[in-house]
Amino acid sequence: MRLTPYIIGLIVIGLIAALLSPGTLVEIEYALHYGIPSMYNIEWNGTSMLASILTSNGFKVVEAYTVVDPIILAEVHNPERIIYVYIAPQYPLTSRDVNIVETLMNKYALSLLVCDEANTSNILLSKYGLWVSGRIIYTSYGSPYPLAYFKIGNYSGLFVLNYASSIGYAGHVRVIGETLDGDIVGVMLRKGDDIVAVISDSSLFINLMLSKSTSYMNYSKLVEELFKYLTGGSSPRKTLVIIDLTHYSGPSPRKIAEITGKGYAILHPLVIVQLLSTYTLYVEEVMVRELVENYPIILTYIFITLLSLLVIYNILRP
């Protein structure tokens, strides 16, 4: 690929901006990502640690915010397998969700993972002879934190749960999680090439519990082994993990006002140009496709990035 006028223009703008603009550091306020178990939410109830674990193991992790997102994401990435994940939905699933899952199953090898201690997912689970009771499990001594034994593939371990409920089933399933008192908290079944799994403690997948991993009670390892099994033999790099976020409400304006944070941003034309060039590389995927052919764009990107770092250094230095 030859240097296009667009790329040459970026270079010229970058040089002019670097020479003429002093740049400035500004303080900004932003609303913290609150209340939704998103991979962008780093608070206790977020799934940012889950996303980090999965990406470090080679998975591509994305989020579905609208009803059309799952189908679009699947078509864009065209994976060998999809792992579709519901984590403690605030609003009950509907027939729309059933249709989405069935559509994905018809087009792709699909693993469905429902992580929920409530009964909000039962309209979908009933299609596979499964249901969640929605009643919190208490131990024989009255604790809502039962011990449960999980066995997934060749991996097994004992874990403390954080508010779980029992799973019911009709037909043949594989039990992968059971409390010491005999309550079923994890099941899995196969439907052709597809896999359906239910874990009735959503806390196992949020930062609250993953941050408590130790060598003898490793929640992160449990997540790794579960998603490894859900690939159904596909490579993680050919597996798309879609986390459903269509069943949550955003925080109210008042809540946003209470939880705003502060950060800093550098205002400089060259920094903006660098962001544009980064987006260009992302869209065209030239970093991983036809690298030799696109080396002028790569070199231009490196050049603009180095200039941007120099500008940032000059602004931030004492």
User: Which pLDDT belongs to residue 285?
Assistant: 47
- Which pair of structure tokens corresponds to residue 118? 């409530």
- Tell which residue, 223, 201, 234, has the closest CA to residue 49: 223
Helices 69-77 & 95-107, crossing angle to 10 degrees?
10
User: Which pLDDT belongs to residue 216?
Assistant: 87
Check: pTM over 0.75? Answer yes or no.
Answer: no
- Measured CA to CA, the distance from residue 52 to residue 56 in angstroms comes to 6
φ and ψ of 25, to 5 deg: -105, 125
Q: Classify 48-250 by CATH class.
A: alpha beta
Pairing of strands 24-31, 260-267: antiparallel
Lowest-confidence segment of 22-26, 65-69, 280-284 by average pLDDT = 280-284
Query: In terms of pLDDT, which residue wins out, 17 or 209?
Result: 209
- Tell which residue, 57, 58, 55, has the closest CA to residue 40: 55
User: Which pLDDT belongs to residue 167?
Assistant: 97
- Measured CA to CA, the distance from residue 167 to residue 184 in angstroms comes to 5
- The four Cα atoms 20, 26, 31, 33 give a dihedral, to 10 degrees, of 70
Lowest-confidence segment of 18-22, 223-227, 311-315 by average pLDDT = 18-22
When pLDDT is averaged across residues 286-305 and rounded to a whole number, the result is 59
User: Which pLDDT belongs to residue 260?
Assistant: 61
* Predicted confidence (pLDDT) at residue 278 exceeds the cutoff of 90: no
User: Which pLDDT belongs to residue 264?
Assistant: 65
pLDDT above 70 coverage of the chain, percent:
69
User: Which pLDDT belongs to residue 171?
Assistant: 86
Query: In terms of pLDDT, which residue wins out, 57 or 276?
Result: 57
When pLDDT is averaged across residues 240-258 and rounded to a whole number, the result is 76
Half-sphere exposure of 130 (CA within 13 A, CB side): 29
When pLDDT is averaged across residues 112-122 and rounded to a whole number, the result is 96
- Measured CA to CA, the distance from residue 113 to residue 86 in angstroms comes to 6
* Predicted confidence (pLDDT) at residue 241 exceeds the cutoff of 60: yes
User: Which pLDDT belongs to residue 44?
Assistant: 86
Query: In terms of pLDDT, which residue wins out, 240 or 255?
Result: 240
User: Which pLDDT belongs to residue 64?
Assistant: 92
Provide the mean pLDDT of the chain: 83
When pLDDT is averaged across residues 202-226 and rounded to a whole number, the result is 94
- Tell which residue, 315, 285, 304, 312, has the closest CA to residue 14: 304
When pLDDT is averaged across residues 50-56 and rounded to a whole number, the result is 95
* Predicted confidence (pLDDT) at residue 279 exceeds the cutoff of 70: no
For residues 270 and 278, the answer to whether their CB atoms sit within 8 Å is no
When pLDDT is averaged across residues 139-152 and rounded to a whole number, the result is 92
- Tell which residue, 109, 111, 57, 47, has the closest CA to residue 236: 57
User: Which pLDDT belongs to residue 190?
Assistant: 93
Lowest-confidence segment of 144-153, 172-181, 210-219, 256-265 by average pLDDT = 256-265
